[in-house]
Amino acid sequence: MKRALPLLVVWMLCAVLLSSCGSQREDAKSMERIYSEEGVPVRTEKVRLTSFEDRRSYNAVLSGIEESSAYAMISDKIERVYAKVGDSVRKDDVIVSFPTDNPAAQYYQAKVSFENAAASYRRMEDLYATGGISQQELDNARTSYQVAQANWDAVQQSVLVRAPISGVLTKVDVRESDNVHPDDELFTVSRVDKLKAKLWISDKEIRRFRKGLPASATWNGIEIFGRVVQVDMSINKDMQAFGVTVELDNPAKIPLTGVVAAVNVDLYSNPEAVVVERKNIFKEGDKTYVFVASGGAAQKRYVTLGDSHGPDVEVVEGLSPGDELIVEGQMHLEDGAKIRMISDPDVSVSN
């Protein structure tokens, strides 16, 4: 009796399992019969042409298309600052000056030496014209004059610091009476009629970039436009990415140098594209297909894909405007299967 009890339990469990499997098979057969007789319930969307673009956005620092900074050559206090940030300056305009009596500059010594060399050279030219000196003596006088001139120019540059390029004064690092040391930065001049930005692109994305792609930059509601002008062909070891340079037109000459802006690059754009969500596309080997509704049946339609961005994929061949793309119920379909259209949004179609 004790042996019979465990056997009875085992038999009952087996009976339950067999009954469950049979029920599932019956349910599956029942669903197949319903699909065969009434059609697979599906939901469709009409294919329409729509605008499709792949725009990538990066944060980057904007700078002038051309920028140059000036640095102190001597230790001394700033005597005068002649311009302020935002001022337009021309190349060689004096922006910052130091006292001319600084012993390290030797301003007056260099000035006197240059004036003496210039006067001597002019006398030598007159003597040479009348045959009073040789060509060698004239050449020596010219050399002395040129050396004195170079020294005088260098001394002036150390005392009267000039704008290295024409543009807008975008940064002034000193004020009058400030004490500075050699190599301290004094100011920066930028050309801001155009701006540039350096983007760093991963090796997975760089193949999508090419010279000439449209670009834009946005900062605090200001938007400017331009293009990609350079795509590096080798990776930067420090950044572990490829550099892409964007130039942007700035006709209003808004001083945006140094700000971090959202820089957008339009990798692809098609104003009249057929776009399908990725979930509605299936693979068969190396081919891709979708299902469309045609005459009460599902039709397997092979398609050629184009660009993609996020969940959206462009279909360049295989679908036309007006086609009824099946977007729900596809998992139960095969080519030619009978379908039943479900239009009520509250009715769920199981995949």
For the chain, which domains are there?
56-62+190-270 (2.40.30.170), 73-183 (1.10.287.470)
Residues (pLDDT < 70) of the chain are 1-37, 343-351
96: nearest Cα among 164, 49, 197: 164
**How many other C-beta atoms can be found within 10 angstroms of the C-beta atom of residue 59?**
10
Rounded Cα gap, residues 344 and 332, in angstroms: 19
Say which residues have a Cβ less than 8 Å from residue 341's Cβ, sequence separation at least 6.
Answer: 42, 43, 44, 293
Summarised one tens digit per residue, pLDDT across range 181-198 is 999 999 999 999 999 999
d(CA 328, CA 278): 13
| Amino acid (one-letter) located at 170 | T
Question: Could you give the 3-state DSSP secondary structure of residue 158?
Answer: helix
Q: What is the pLDDT of residue 345?
A: 54
- Kindly state the tokens that stand for 94: 């004096």
Which residue, among 250, 266, 202, has the nearest Cα to 62 in the 3D structure? 250
Closest to 62 measured CA to CA, from 198, 172, 170, 191: 198
CB 344 within 8 A of CB 328: no
Instruction: Determine the 3-state secondary structure of 344 from DSSP.
Output: coil
Residue 204: which residues within 8 A CB-CB, separation 6 or more? none
| pLDDT score for 28 | 46
Classify burial at 128, counting beta carbons within 10 Å of its beta carbon; exposed 0-12, middle 13-18, buried 19 or more.
middle
Q: How many CA atoms lie within 13 A of 29 on its CB side?
A: 6
Residue 285 Ramachandran class (φ > 0 left, ψ -120 to 50 alpha, else beta): left
pLDDT of 24-33, one tens digit each?
A: 444 445 666 6
Residue 122's pLDDT is 93
195 close to 61: Cβ distance less than 8 angstroms: no
Q: Who contacts 269 (Cβ-Cβ below 8 Å, separation ≥6)?
A: 51, 52, 53, 54, 214
Positive or negative torsion for Cα 155, 156, 157, 160: positive
Nearest to 174 by CA among 93, 255, 84: 84
In whole angstroms, what is the distance from residue 130 CA to residue 125 CA? 9
